[in-house]
């Protein structure tokens, strides 16, 4: 095994792709230095943590320009080599990972710049930046990992940093509870994830993505009866991180964390990790379905189908819930859930065509506009003195023009209005769904309609109408360090959809793209892609209509319907008219379909009962009968024997005589 590693290293030598190690470790280095050396100095802490993340971003751009869609491995380190288990710490660069590197480091840099003023007055400013650095490091580890175990390692680290950031204001009980809930839900998903990894490992004999893929291409039936179960278990990991139904309950509560955290972690990057992971291990979802004998009734149902449906259900449930939320961050949180559901659905549906690129495309555009929306919400909350209820705002558009206009761009992108980025990525998902599963396509159109509805409701209530409270009255535009990141994010929110990201990713999955741009990128690099885009931007703008006009029109129809409904209901309203119209449905939506209540009333009593029974067993059966029993028996015997030892000579003499008589009797018999 050492031989292989040595040979590998000799072949490659020192390579430019080893820059990826720097990309990965710079943020960690920054955080560690800041924590141990400059914790007490805010400026230096900012320089170290933000500086390293920006440096990481610059290097990521370099790597993207050099490699783009080409794939490359960095020199690995041995982590665990035991018997048939070989785990390295190695980095893999390809279209998927380089694209994600850009998203993660880019959005992280902007969010950290925003935080310099948003968190300015917080006593634990340095702790915040150091934890953010730790998060960026962990997230980049997931992106770059070349094997399952390493991905799991960083997966857990992301969970920890998310726990620390959600619970950042631990003095608030709600923050502590939310952090705990998030961590537990994630670990529940990870429990399935690790079992799935074990299953894949024992079926295929490797944890390395490249090796697993190669052996599955050679023999698609290599996973045999485990294919379905392994796929579902691995998906459980994604369900935890990407908050899919029924593990979605933690994400809305996670909004207890500071708003920049919500923007970076719980909108743009960490929650997208599940989708990214599904794309990374997509090859285990394209193999023929198989189930162990006990589950053979599932027949031809593939794990990918389940994935698609879970995604669809999440998208719909979350969109419905968002309609009746009043907290600006919670509306955005549910919309994140819903969009994640979209992406997961796209991965599942992509399995039939071998192309999940629509999900990565949506992940890419969503990262920008959702981060911008959250930062915009942060700017609003900051301006309104920590007011989060949209009904206690109103008329903000004139007071905070930059925030309003960027927020409006974000809303248009999220709703999927052309030519904003969201339209293009959402259209690819609708097109995929239309080909693979018309029912889910219908569901997706409904979700698109609901999305436009609740986002327009948010904008109409918070930014228009009359100013309804004192705090909204005194609101004014946030400082530059907060508005500049918003403007920076607004650019990709508009134009990100014009790039053929979907085709770029499709090239990675070996799918011949319909227009050839992706192939050009895959074969010739980024330069030719840029010329093609600049030469054919008008073409790119109308691509969805040329490619699958029905899907594009369905999407537009949904947007128009949702938008006009919201306009009719919420223009210049002081109270929500919806509860009056649909009492029960509205209540269920407001109560988030009672998931928290159901979980509390089912799991907590079960858990308490089981734990009490076990403790009782320990105490009364094992200790009571066992230990005290033995102890007691010995003690009783001891006491009985003590009675014999009276110290009285007559008694001894009597016993002695009795004994002699007894023996004599026996002998005479």
The residues binding other proteins (CB under 8 A) are: 78-80, 82-85, 149, 152-154, 156-157, 160, 167, 170-171, 173, 176, 180, 183-184, 187-188, 191, 194-195, 198-199, 201-202, 607-608, 610-612, 614-615, 617-618, 622-623, 626-627, 630-631
- Shortest Cβ distance from residue 199 to other proteins (Å)? 8
Q: Pick the closer one to other proteins by CB: 1 or 664.
A: 1
Residues 6 or more apart whose CB falls under 8 angstroms from that of 362 comprise 339, 342, 343, 346, 422, 425, 426, 428, 429
- Shortest Cβ distance from residue 153 to other proteins (Å)? 4
DSSP string, 247-309: STTHHHHGGGS-HHHHHIIIIISGGGHHHHHHHHTGGGGSSPP---GGGGGGTT--HHHHHHH
Q: Pick the closer one to other proteins by CB: 78 or 646.
A: 78
- Shortest Cβ distance from residue 483 to other proteins (Å)? 35
Q: Output the six-digit token pair for 335.
A: 């919309």
Q: Pick the closer one to other proteins by CB: 537 or 634.
A: 634
- Shortest Cβ distance from residue 327 to other proteins (Å)? 22
Distance CA 516, CA 68 (A): 16
Q: Pick the closer one to other proteins by CB: 476 or 639.
A: 639
- Shortest Cβ distance from residue 330 to other proteins (Å)? 23
- Shortest Cβ distance from residue 187 to other proteins (Å)? 5
- Shortest Cβ distance from residue 622 to other proteins (Å)? 5
Q: Pick the closer one to other proteins by CB: 243 or 313.
A: 243
H or E, element range at 335: helix 328-353
What is the C-alpha radius of gyration for the chain, rounded to an integer number of angstroms? Answer: 31
Q: Pick the closer one to other proteins by CB: 183 or 291.
A: 183
- Shortest Cβ distance from residue 52 to other proteins (Å)? 19
HEC letters along 508-555: HCCCCCCCCHHHHHHHHCHHHHHHHHHHCHHHHHCHHHHHCHHHHHHH
Q: Pick the closer one to other proteins by CB: 199 or 358.
A: 199
- Shortest Cβ distance from residue 337 to other proteins (Å)? 23
> Smallest Cα–Cα separation from 247: which of 341, 332, 135, 156?
341
Q: Pick the closer one to other proteins by CB: 155 or 570.
A: 155
User: How many C-beta atoms lie closer than 10 Å to residue 10's C-beta?
Assistant: 8
Q: Pick the closer one to other proteins by CB: 149 or 482.
A: 149
Token look-up 């809305």 returns: 252
How far CA 520 is from CA of 61, 146, 191, 446, 536, in Å, comes to 19, 25, 41, 35, 14
Q: Give percent helix, percent strand, percent coil of the chain, each to the nearest 5.
A: 80, 5, 20
Maximum separation of any 2 CA atoms in the chain, in Å? 126
- Shortest Cβ distance from residue 637 to other proteins (Å)? 15
Token look-up 């029993």 returns: 629
Please state whether the peptide bond connecting residue 246 to the residue before it is cis, i.e. omega within 30 degrees of 0.
yes
Q: Output the six-digit token pair for 614.
A: 């076990």
Q: Pick the closer one to other proteins by CB: 226 or 369.
A: 226
- C-beta of residue 261 within 8 angstroms of C-beta of residue 168: yes
Distance CA 53, CA 125 (A): 17
- C-beta of residue 90 within 8 angstroms of C-beta of residue 131: no
Q: Pick the closer one to other proteins by CB: 193 or 509.
A: 193
- Shortest Cβ distance from residue 521 to other proteins (Å)? 35
Q: Output the six-digit token pair for 98.
A: 């380089």
DSSP string, 169-229: STTSHHHHHHHHHHHHHHHHHHHHHHHHHHHHHHHHS--BHHHHHHHHHH-GGGGGGGHHH
- Shortest Cβ distance from residue 366 to other proteins (Å)? 28
Q: Rounded to 5 degrees, what are φ and ψ at 476? A: -145, 165
Q: Pick the closer one to other proteins by CB: 55 or 194.
A: 194
């Amino acid at each position: 095994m050492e031989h292989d590693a040595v040979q590998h290293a000799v072949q490659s030598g020192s390579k430019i792709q080893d820059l990826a190690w720097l990309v990965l470790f710079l943020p960690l280095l920054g955080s560690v230095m800041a924590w141990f050396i400059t914790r007490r100095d805010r400026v230096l802490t900012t320089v170290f943590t933000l500086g390293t993340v920006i440096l990481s971003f610059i290097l990521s751009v370099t790597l993207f320009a050099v490699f783009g869609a080409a794939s490359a491995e960095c020199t690995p380190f041995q982590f665990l080599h035991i018997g048939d288990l070989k785990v390295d710490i190695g980095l893999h660069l390809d279209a998927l990972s380089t694209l994600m590197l850009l998203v993660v480091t880019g959005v992280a840099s902007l969010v950290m710049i925003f935080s310099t003023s948003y968190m300015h007055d917080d006593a634990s400013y340095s702790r915040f930046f150091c934890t953010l650095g730790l998060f960026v490091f962990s997230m980049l580890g997931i992106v770059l990992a070349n094997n399952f175990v390493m991905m799991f390692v960083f997966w857990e680290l992301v969970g920890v940093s998310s726990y620390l950031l959600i619970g950042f204001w631990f003095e608030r009980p709600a923050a502590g509870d939310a952090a705990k809930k998030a961590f537990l839900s994630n670990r529940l998903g990870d429990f399935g994830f690790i079992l799935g990894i074990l299953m894949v490992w024992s079926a295929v004999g490797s944890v390395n993505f490249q090796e697993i893929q190669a052996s599955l291409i050679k023999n698609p039936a290599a996973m045999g009866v485990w294919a379905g179960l392994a796929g579902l278990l691995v998906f459980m990991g994604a369900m935890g991180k990407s908050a899919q139904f029924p593990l979605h309950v933690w994400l809305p509560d996670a909004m207890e964390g500071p708003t920049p955290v919500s923007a970076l972690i719980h909108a743009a990057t960490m929650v997208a990790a599940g989708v990214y992971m599904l794309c990374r291990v997509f090859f285990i979802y394209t193999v023929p379905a198989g189930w162990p004998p006990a589950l053979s009734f599932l027949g031809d149902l593939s794990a990918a189908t389940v994935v698609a449906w879970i995604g669809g259900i999440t998208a719909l449930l979350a969109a419905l819930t968002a309609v009746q939320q009043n907290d600006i961050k919670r509306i955005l949180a549910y919309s994140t859930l819903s969009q994640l559901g979209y992406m997961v659905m796209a991965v599942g549906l992509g399995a039939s065509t071998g192309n999940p690129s629509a999900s990565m495309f949506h992940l890419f555009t969503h990262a920008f506009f959702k981060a911008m929306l959250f930062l915009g919400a942060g700017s609003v909350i900051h301006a309104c003195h920590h007011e989060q209820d949209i009904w206690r705002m109103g008329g903000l558009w004139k007071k905070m023009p930059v925030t309003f206009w960027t927020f409006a761009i974000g809303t248009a992108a999220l709703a999927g209005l052309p030519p904003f980025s969201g339209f293009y990525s959402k259209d690819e998902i609708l097109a995929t769904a239309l080909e693979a599963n018309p029912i889910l396509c219908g569901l997706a159109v409904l979700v698109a309609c609901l999305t436009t509805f609740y986002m327009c409701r948010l904008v109409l209530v918070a930014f228009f109408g009359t100013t309804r409270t004192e705090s909204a009255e005194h609101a004014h535009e946030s400082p530059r360090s907060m508005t500049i990141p918003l403007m920076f994010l607004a650019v990709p929110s508009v134009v990100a959809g014009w790039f053929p990201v979907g085709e770029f990713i499709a090239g990675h999955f070996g799918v011949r793209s319909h227009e050839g741009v992706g192939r050009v990128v895959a074969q010739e690099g980024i330069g030719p892609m840029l010329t093609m885009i600049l030469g054919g931007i008008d073409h790119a703008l109308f691509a969805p209509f040329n490619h699958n006009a029905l899907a594009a029109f369905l999407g537009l129809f949904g947007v128009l319907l949702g938008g006009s409904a919201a306009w009719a209901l919420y223009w210049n309203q002081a109270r929500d008219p919806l509860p009056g119209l649909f009492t029960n449905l509205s209540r269920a939506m407001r109560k988030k379909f009672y998931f928290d209540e159901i979980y509390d009333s089912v799991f907590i009593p079960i858990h308490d009962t089981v734990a009490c029974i076990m403790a009782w067993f320990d105490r009364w059966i094992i200790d009571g009968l066992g230990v005290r029993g033995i102890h007691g028996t010995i003690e009783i015997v001891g006491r009985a024997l003590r009675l014999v030892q009276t110290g009285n000579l007559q008694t001894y003499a009597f016993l002695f005589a009795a004994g002699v008589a007894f023996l004599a009797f026996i002998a005479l018999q």
